[in-house]
Structure 1
Amino acid sequence: MRKKLLLLTGLVAVLVLLSGCTEVDQDITAESEGIWNKYFVYPLSWLLVKVAEFFNADFGYGLSIVIVTILIRLILLPLNIKQIKSSKAMQEIQPELQKLREKYSSKDQQTQMKLQQETMELFQKSGANPLAGCLPIIVQMPILLAFYHAIMRTGALDGHHFLWFQLDTPDPYYILPVLTAVFTFFQQKLMMAGTNMQQNAMMPQMTLMLYIMPIMIGVFAIFFPAALALYWAVGNIFMIFQTLLVKNPMMKKMDNENATGGPKK
């Protein structure tokens, strides 16, 4: 857990350095300078505009956000599948990890080294990787921030409507923030599906995130432009279907293996 936090903290620091000097109210163009603008924000802004121009309608920019969001999720699909598999493996070995912690509860250096050694052996044996769950987050964070900048700084998007809301202002009816929070909750809940109470008790951070993350995303969506809330909502709907398509076959396979006494060789 400590390694994950350090990794995410380092990534946030890099993103702050990349985007910290960029004014959100400055339109993004091909002439915008800086690594962040040129290689992260402008390509997404360009893609949004080109897809919207293809439809040649007022709702084109909203539809463009939906299409680009799905495209981004498809690109990230292999990483997300890896995350789901790693998350499931980590859930499965929680009882064994707890036994190791109880066995080597002493805080002296030699005992802790032994704990780390046997923990690594358990990870290798089970195929679990505690850092694999961070990889999709690490990849998505700069994309999300760049997409936020692209939405905020693409002048062509201003004034366009999609469904009941205007893209460059918050949803006046708070429908999108509620949907975003609900879809985030269901997506998190699906990730935890198949775990028992004992496993959940051993992974309190996952239970905490189940409730904290939807609230955070929902509150952000109240104040951010509706275009960004649309990105979150569509992204989470995609993740829900992805989790159902990937995790359900995994659960059935595990049930069959348990029923037959282990994996087939």
Structure 2
Amino acid sequence: MRHFFQKNAKILFVCFLILFTCTACSSPRAKDGRTKVDQIIASETVQIKKSEVNTTEISNQKLKKKYAKLDDNDMITIQPTSFSEAFDNGWFEGLIVWPLAQLINKVSASTDAGIGILVVTVLIQLLVFALTGKSQMASQRMQEIQPELQAIQNKYRGRTDEASQMKMYRETQALYQKYDIHPFGTILITFIQLPIMMGMYYATIRSYNVLVGSFMGVNLSTTPMEGIQSLNVAIIAIYVLMVVAQLVSFRLPTWLKKRQEEKDHVKKHEYRQENKENNMQSSMNMYMYTMTIMFAFIYLNWPTAMSFYWCVTSLFRIIQNIILHHAMNKVKTA
């Protein structure tokens, strides 16, 4: 573990810096749930009704006084948001939020808000896979080297002295290095995904086309909680599908592995370390279910646009896992 943190200290520092920057960003949503008018990102000069945005919790006092004189049905003009303006508010907003929001705006302009989010989400997931694909392939190799890993552990079984434990650690690390495996690579994947997810949150909340647009008649700025209260079947369906897709994406690798073992008629032997694997699996399951429940509660009060984004993300991962599974098995049988 210490070797891992020493080797990846710079990467982890950048990840923590990104997360710190994300948490430091001001919320684009006001207490009433509406987007603050001065937080909207537009790609062209547009107008929006005062009643559709919040004008009382903005930082610009002159605009605040100006908007206070308007009626709810009066229109407010929104000027295009430039990169320099976004970057002045922080590099996270300039380099991540602004490009995502503008890309959503551009795609949505010729289609609808849902298609804009879908296209941007797929592009993001392809980028994430390009950055973390090696770690995902390594997790597949980890399953294949279990016999060799068990042989090392059996060699030092019952030897609890520090010298023996250090030798076992070195041999284990040499085995990981031989197969180019990074056991803690999933930590980096999580840190990479979190700022991207936060960037998409800010982008979808602040994108003008998402704010005023829809997807197949569904107002994506409405929250699932509002959809449940009004019995909006479409919004409820998107929310439920998001939760189900997330659960399936978490559990799918385990299901695929079990199915492949049954297909190959693999018998479990002692080297499979059933107790250890069960403990690891239980920990992973607890993490997965905790994350799903956490997101389910959070997303109840976030715009449906975010539920739609996470639903598309989970569906993408399901397809990705299936493709990776078949690709790894083809390599094994080649």
Q: Mark yes or no: TM-score above 0.5.
A: yes
Aligned ranges for residues 74-93 of structure 1 at < 5 Å? 74-93=126-145
Q: Aligned-residue CA RMSD in angstroms?
A: 3.0
Write the distance in 2 (CA, Å) between the matches of 1:180 and 1:120: 38
Residue 96 of structure 2 is aligned to residue 18 of structure 1: no
In 2: Cα distance, 1:140 partner to 1:90 partner: 22
Corresponding residue for residue 184 of structure 1:
246
In the alignment, the residues of structure 1 paired with residue 330 and residue 280 of structure 2 have an alpha-carbon distance, to the nearest angstrom, of 23
Q: Deviations over 1:172-226 (max 9, x none)?
A: 1432232112111221222222157837415233333343333333333222211
> 1:72, CA displacement in angstroms?
1.3
Deviation at 1:239, TM superposition (A): 1.3
Deviation at 1:136, TM superposition (A): 3.4
Pair 1:20–1:77, CA change in 2 (3 A): closer
Deviation at 1:80, TM superposition (A): 4.5
Deviation at 1:84, TM superposition (A): 2.7
- Corresponding residue number in structure 1 for 2:40: 27
Asked whether the equivalents of residues 15 and 142 of structure 1 are also in contact (C-alpha less than 8 Å), the reply is yes
Partners of 1:168 and 1:227 within 8 A in 2:
yes
Q: Is the counterpart of residue 233 in structure 1 residue 311 in structure 2?
A: yes
Residues 125 and 316 of structure 2 are in contact (CA less than 8 Å); yes or no, is this contact kept in structure 1? yes
Instruction: Give the equivalent residue in structure 2 for 1:208.
Output: 286
Unaligned runs of 5+ in 2: 29-38, 42-80, 229-235, 262-267, 269-273
Structure with the greater alpha carbon radius of gyration:
2
TM-score (norm 2): 0.65
In structure 2, the residue matched to 1:71 is: 123
Cα 1:120–1:165 shift into 2, 3 Å: same
Letter of the 2:257 partner, please give it: G
In the alignment, is the contact (CA less than 8 A) between 1:180 and 1:217 conserved in 2?
Answer: no
Displacement after TM superposition at 1:35 (Å): 1.0
Aligned mates of 1:72, 1:16 — CA distance in 2: 18
Distance in 1, matches of 2:220 and 2:117, equals: 10
Change (3 A) 1:213 1:22: closer
Aligned to 1:114: 167
Change (3 A) 1:120 1:252: same
* Shift in Å, 1:40: 1.4
Deviates more, 1:215-224 or 1:197-206: 197-206
Relative distance call for 1:119 and 1:222 in structure 2 (3 A) is: same
Matched letter for residue 96 of structure 2: F
8 Å contact kept, 1:84–1:243: no
Aligned match of 1:243: 321
- Are 1:159 and 2:212 an aligned pair? yes
Structure 2 counterpart of 1:154, one-letter code? S
- Cα–Cα, structure 1 residues 206 and 189, in superposed 2: closer, same or farther, change >3 Å? same
Tell me which moved more, 114-123 or 184-193: 184-193
Deviations 1:138-173 (A, max 9, x none): 332221111111112224422322135321221214
Match of 1:261 in 2: none
3-state SS in 2 of match to 1:203: helix
Query: Is the CA contact 1:104–1:115 (under 8 Å) kept in the aligned structure 2?
Result: no
C-alpha distance in 1 between matches for 2:217 and 2:172: 52
SS at match of 2:185: coil
The answer for the alignment partner of 1:61 in structure 2 is: 113
Mind listing any 5+ residue stretches in structure 1 that lack a counterpart?
257-263
Q: CA deviation at 1:233?
A: 0.6
Aligned length: 251
CA shift, 1:69, in A, is 0.6
